[in-house]
Amino acid sequence: LTGVPREQRAFQYVLAHAIPGDPRHVLQTFDQWSYRCEHLSSVGPLKGKIVERLLCERAPRTVLELGTYCGYGTVLMAAALPPGARLYTVEPDPRHAAVAEKVIRLAGFDEETVELIVGPSEEVIPRLREQHGLLKAEFVFMDHWKRCYLRDLQLLEAHELLAEGATVLADNVVFPGAPHFLQYAKTCGKYRCKVHRASLEY
């Protein structure tokens, strides 16, 4: 009714209540908004623990996120990275990217740590090496359109952007579902697969 998108409303709430430079508090404030006010399709705190645990186990130096949305997952991952690591995050929607940029900087991460790239993943992935300096991704988090998961995984393979032993983590593959991606990952012989059971966010 106000004409202000829900993502912008959420950001105004975070801006008013979160402690700048404190990633944990920024995420907690997002959670408060999503539980009490309006649902946001961020990764959320429960699935966020799975992401954090895998990042801590792998300690990657280079991370690629496909689907920035409001920057929740970006902040969560950036906070869990080892010193000197770099995160590249790709968002196709310029309006969401504008919110995410402010959220990421509010949480205290500069462009040396987190680079936000605006554009469709199928256009961005082929130029990640030349234009953005990403040689190999050691950890990939997919949280964008489910129908793009398989295409983008194969694009990463074709452009040799996956480091040896890389981890690819994909959200919501069972519901709403990415059956072709799952089938490929399980049968192509390149990956060892594990499904992490979780509820939908919030």
With tokens 């961020």, the residue in question is: 42
Cα 36 from Cα 124, distance rounded (Å): 35
Q: What is the CATH number of the domain that holds 19?
A: 3.40.50.150
Cα 136 from Cα 156, distance rounded (Å): 9
Instruction: Find the largest Cα–Cα distance for the chain.
Output: 51
| Domain membership flag for residue 25 | yes
Q: Which structural domain range is residue 108 located in?
A: 6-188
| Domain membership flag for residue 198 | no
pLDDT per residue, tens digit, the chain (202 aa), is 678 999 999 999 999 999 999 999 999 999 999 999 999 999 999 999 999 999 999 999 999 999 999 999 999 999 999 999 999 999 999 999 999 999 999 999 999 999 999 999 999 999 999 999 999 999 999 999 999 999 999 999 999 999 999 999 999 999 889 999 999 999 999 999 999 999 888 8
pLDDT value of position 87: 98
pTM, two decimal places: 0.96
**Given 3-state DSSP classes, what are the helix, strand and coil percentages for the chain, each rounded to the nearest 5?**
50, 15, 35
> Could you give the 3-state DSSP secondary structure of residue 61?
coil
| Domain membership flag for residue 1 | no
| Domain membership flag for residue 136 | yes
| Domain membership flag for residue 84 | yes
**What residues act catalytically?**
143, 146, 171-172, 201
| Domain membership flag for residue 193 | no
Radius of gyration of the chain (CA): 16
Number of domains in the chain: 1
pLDDT value of position 53: 97
| Domain membership flag for residue 199 | no
| Domain membership flag for residue 195 | no
**160-87-112-162 Cα dihedral, nearest 10 degrees:** -10
pLDDT value of position 71: 98
